[in-house]
Structure 1
Amino acid sequence: MSSFIRGTAVLMVAVFMSKLLGFVFRIQFMRIAGEEAVGIYMTAYPAFIFFLSLVQLGIPVAIAKVIAEHKAKGELDKISAVMKTAVFMTFLTAIVFIPASIAFVPYLAGTLLGNPASASALYAGIAIVPIAAIGGLIRGYFQGITRIEETAWSQIIEQFFRILLITYMLPFILSPDNMAMNAAYAMFITMLAEITSVLYLLFKYRQHRKRKANEKIEKKPKRYPFEPILEIALPSSGSRLFGTFTWFLEPIIFLRALSMSGITAIAATSLYGIISGVLIPLLLFPAFIPYALSIVLVPAVSGAAASSNKKKLKERIHLALRLSAITGTFAAAVFFVHGQVLAEKLFRITEGGSYMTILAPVFFFYYIQGPLYSILQSTGDAKAGMMNSVYGGIAKLAVMFVLASQPGIQETGAVLAIGFGVLITSFLHIATLRKNKATATGFTMFALPYFSFVMTAIMRPIFIPLGKFGLITDCLITTLFLTVILILTRQLRMNDFMLFKKLLKRSY
């Protein structure tokens, strides 16, 4: 088994484990800290990610590519020089952006978010930035030398420690009357978990570099120039910065729009915490399946595109999209029928669970969005795919401000805007792929899976009343009901799974 395939398999398992542990963390956090504290944490978290993107400036992606190129050429003596230059560049960006971020916090918390109490969580988030930046550099190194195991294990270790700390540490330091400090404590716990992850990465990095030094393969390296790293880092950071910036703006627009419609800052913050910290993670929990499909099938799509084999190209694209659509169909059906009860029982929330019936039908398209973007990259339409995401992000924020600020719609308008952003991006991806005649892909191939979801949502409560059995049994009945419909509409085909198995064996 090649190191790439082994790494890919480990990464698939890591994505599942990371999602599962992250899901457990959110359940514990909501149960222990409450809706308002989670809301403050979730409004501060996008700002932390945006500040981190400013400091990283695409350097981890760049060093992964540069190191991979030098490794392929056998220029192993340059790798340590690349890392030293990358560390120095990150140090420079940190000196510029971290003080600027600290100075920006009072305005962000008090004016933009309209909640000065969130400043504590924002300061705690900024404290994580240099630690996470170091971790990003080491992850870039391991990706460059095609060792994915270290990155995968670091993610699992981080999530595992977050769960331990939120379960056994947070209850002892909680302040019943200060939700803002509770959110800051949770951010501090995130920092401690990040430290454990980075310490593991540092240990593995030193271990690997020491082994290479003992092999005496490298001489004293010269200073590595900035230019090759910046040529890759700056373009790649552009799309990431825009993505994190729109996420950074989301809670600001969400809270400002709702305050204009007459909802208090505390109520709006709690609602944002429920939507972004409970409902969306719950909806996206099974999304590791399309991600795994992309990892296995997209290289096959790239190969078919490179060899101009239209038959294979069409076959593999349709397989990837059909299996992703089926996963989305199951998620949409289960969460539309049982989502509110699942959210309320797992997270013990008192309101907001009803929005699952609005989000579930739309998030079907999120399950095909990732594979669509990966296929666009494989077929040479990466720039168009990026612009589709940009348009979707702008549309979501614009619609959110317009709808959520209306007194008659308020929070329902904000939820509709989130779904609207998913629809715009997904439909633009489909339209872009449809222009490539060789793929023979269009909107109709998703119609039958979506029809199967609609039929399940309508017929399941009629034939078998809800609540008659336990929640888990009810979910299984809905899944079985949908499976029968998918078989009858020939959306579930044994040939698809046989072909997927064949491609997987060929990869191994």
Structure 2
Amino acid sequence: MSTTKKDSLLKGTAILAAAGFISKFLGFIYRSFLGRVIGDQGFGLYEKAYPIYTMILTISTVAIPIAISKLISEKRAEGRHDLAYYIFKVALRFSFIFGSFASIIVAIFAKPLAKYLLGDIRVYYSILAIAPAIFIVSIMATYRGYFQGWQQMKPTAISQVVEQVLRMTTMILLAYFLLPYGVEYGAAGAASGAFFGAIAGLIIILVIYYRFQKKHQDKFDDSADHPPVKEVLNKIASLAIPVTVGALILPLMRLIDAIMITPRLEVAGFSLQEATSLYGQFNGMAMTLVRFPTVIAASLAVNLVPAISEAYTLGSDKLAKNRIAKAFKLSIYISIPAAIGLMTLAEPLCRVIFANEQAAISLRYVALGVVAVSLQQVSSSMLQGFGKPRLPARNLFFGALVNVILNYTLTAMPILGIRGAALGTVVGFSVAAILNMVAVFKIVKPDFDYNMLLIKPLLGGGMMFLVILSTYNLLSSVLEFEVFTILATVIIGMLAYGIVLILTSAIKKEDLRMIPKIGVRLADFLDKLGLVRG
């Protein structure tokens, strides 16, 4: 097998991760502006509406693309490109019908959802604003799944960035112009950015698709015999339904949080306005920062399903083990320092990005969940790639159940308050991640060096913690602008972490070569200094 083939997993992940980082960075910008424009109450209304949108959208943007990418990857491995294309066309028709139906239903029931489910009629306008986006994103997600089945990650990456740019621009402008009419209208203006961003992303991916089809037209034979549409839909459903159940649990957790946390905070002694603000700080601010470092895990998860499915179809146990080992190592090496950095710099980060120091209360606790969320995402995709989609769904359900119980109990305690919601989230994801990893190891056990996998990154993380503390305290007394202090502290902390990994041989020359653009030169330079091994 060629080097290009072997490295396709990390290269695809690097492409999606780069796009994810750009999108998340833009997300920081628009959320930072929103925090100043509509305040944490507006954030609370915006965040209450969003779980309904993501629950409906999950079926078409998560389950269907995963099913398509897996089936297309298998057919490509068998040399049946015509059948792979046929599967995509059937899935596209389904997404069109489902997206249309879902958008209409959400729009019709927006008012009762806001009034009776979320207990705040002001959320009605935000739900109504995001309803049209469901149809557009459903179609776009199907095209992304098609390209992912070909292990072509650039179309997804490009459309993702374009979508976020337009979304950010329109949501800030509309939130600003509608806020004078009331905070609920400002929140609705922010929510409507999803529709305009989706339109832009769909246009981009359609252009890429037609160019791709023209280039590879010779591989698609429409005259070949294909199975009935019903049979293809059954295959998609057999994969998509368990994935849907599992994927729905995450937005369901957010929806339950949106319903539960505010009244439980009232039980703890907070007013409705205070409770809504605290919820906005937790889900709109702290969780935004936590989701940022999980971009690599999410990108890896998207890439893992077709990659492991291909290895499984080809009967290559060695290739599957190699890809699993690399995925776990990458997730742990990224998530450990990210968690430490967020915990250590919680207050200045929330102050600079959201102009809200109080959000640091939630962030310090929920930052612990970065590792758990990353491992849960990656291990779920491994099980899906092995054709076991029910296992991650079941495990995430158990984790969500733990989360709900802890949130209900801890958030109502005056001594904890919103910290209880953060702790419940961390423990819930930890339970799901542990159950997933046990299931993966039962199917195939990679040859792990646990000293390399855990001890060395923890050692590097400890050194990073000390460096961040001392650097921030030193620079904050020297530099006038706090944003520069934070950036310099993060860079120095990352360098300290990386140096420890290099000196302990946790990162090898072949690992550095995988870094886009600068990897080869960096590996060769450090090799000349005798700092890395092959």
Could you tell me the TM-score, scaled by structure 1's length?
Answer: 0.81
Report the CA distance shift for 1:430/1:443 in structure 2 as closer, same or farther (over 3 A): farther
SS in 1 for 2:477: coil
Report the CA distance shift for 1:16/1:110 in structure 2 as closer, same or farther (over 3 A): same
| Aligned residue number for residue 398 of structure 1 | 405
Is 2:38 the counterpart of 1:27? no
SS in 2 for 1:175: helix
| Aligned residue number for residue 18 of structure 2 | 13
| Aligned residue number for residue 58 of structure 1 | 63
Deviation at 1:414, TM superposition (A): 1.7
CA distance in 2: counterparts of 1:504 and 1:394, whole angstroms: 39
Cα deviation per residue 1:271-301 (whole Å; 9 max; x = unaligned)? 2222222212223323334556778999699
Is 2:161 the counterpart of 1:150? no
Match of 1:348 among 349, 355, 362: 355
Match of 1:45 among 47, 50, 53: 50
CA distance in 2: counterparts of 1:26 and 1:155, whole angstroms: 17
Letter in 2 for 1:185: G
Deviation at 1:117, TM superposition (A): 0.5
Q: CA RMSD in A?
A: 4.3
Match of 1:496 among 498, 507, 532: 507
CA distance in 2: counterparts of 1:420 and 1:148, whole angstroms: 32
Is 2:121 the counterpart of 1:116? yes
Match of 1:201 among 196, 202, 205: 205
Deviation at 1:210, TM superposition (A): 5.8
Residues 455-494 of structure 1 correspond to what in structure 2 (within 5 A)? 457=465, 461=469, 465=473, 467-470=476-479, 471=482, 472-473=484-485, 476-477=488-489, 480=492, 493-494=504-505
Report the CA distance shift for 1:169/1:257 in structure 2 as closer, same or farther (over 3 A): closer
Cα deviation per residue 1:164-213 (whole Å; 9 max; x = unaligned)? 32455543x23235111111111222211111111222333344456667
Are the equivalent residues in 2 in contact too, given 1:392–1:424 (CA < 8 A)? yes
Report the CA distance shift for 1:364/1:479 in structure 2 as closer, same or farther (over 3 A): farther
Could you tell me the TM-score, scaled by structure 2's length?
Answer: 0.77
| Aligned residue number for residue 133 of structure 1 | 138
Are the equivalent residues in 1 in contact too, given 2:410–2:420 (CA < 8 A)? yes
CA distance in 2: counterparts of 1:269 and 1:355, whole angstroms: 14
Deviation at 1:501, TM superposition (A): 4.2
| Aligned residue number for residue 281 of structure 2 | 274
Are the equivalent residues in 2 in contact too, given 1:44–1:122 (CA < 8 A)? yes
Residues 217-366 of structure 1 correspond to what in structure 2 (within 5 A)? 217-219=221-223, 224-233=228-237, 234-290=241-297, 313=321, 320-349=327-356, 351-366=358-373
Cα deviation per residue 1:137-169 (whole Å; 9 max; x = unaligned)? 222333344443222211111011123324555
CA distance in 2: counterparts of 1:259 and 1:346, whole angstroms: 27
Report the CA distance shift for 1:194/1:290 in structure 2 as closer, same or farther (over 3 A): closer
CA distance in 1: counterparts of 2:158 and 2:373, whole angstroms: 27
Report the CA distance shift for 1:503/1:124 in structure 2 as closer, same or farther (over 3 A): closer
Deviates more, 1:397-406 or 1:117-126: 397-406
Are the equivalent residues in 2 in contact too, given 1:296–1:504 (CA < 8 A)? no
CA distance in 2: counterparts of 1:74 and 1:431, whole angstroms: 34
Letter in 2 for 1:116: I
Are the equivalent residues in 1 in contact too, given 2:467–2:496 (CA < 8 A)? no
Deviates more, 1:108-117 or 1:281-290: 281-290
Unaligned runs of 5+ in 2: 521-534
| Aligned residue number for residue 427 of structure 2 | 420
Identity score, percent:
24
Residues 91-110 of structure 1 correspond to what in structure 2 (within 5 A)? 91-94=96-99, 97-110=102-115
Is 2:193 the counterpart of 1:189? yes
Cα deviation per residue 1:121-145 (whole Å; 9 max; x = unaligned)? 0111222111111212222333344
Deviation at 1:68, TM superposition (A): 4.6
CA distance in 2: counterparts of 1:306 and 1:78, whole angstroms: 21
CA distance in 1: counterparts of 2:252 and 2:325, whole angstroms: 33
CA distance in 2: counterparts of 1:116 and 1:192, whole angstroms: 24
Unaligned runs of 5+ in 1: none
CA distance in 1: counterparts of 2:230 and 2:309, whole angstroms: 34
Are the equivalent residues in 2 in contact too, given 1:81–1:223 (CA < 8 A)? no
CA distance in 2: counterparts of 1:317 and 1:211, whole angstroms: 33
Report the CA distance shift for 1:42/1:481 in structure 2 as closer, same or farther (over 3 A): closer
Report the CA distance shift for 1:85/1:434 in structure 2 as closer, same or farther (over 3 A): closer
Report the CA distance shift for 1:230/1:98 in structure 2 as closer, same or farther (over 3 A): farther
Residues 205-216 of structure 1 correspond to what in structure 2 (within 5 A)? 205-209=209-213
CA distance in 2: counterparts of 1:44 and 1:247, whole angstroms: 10
Deviation at 1:24, TM superposition (A): 2.4
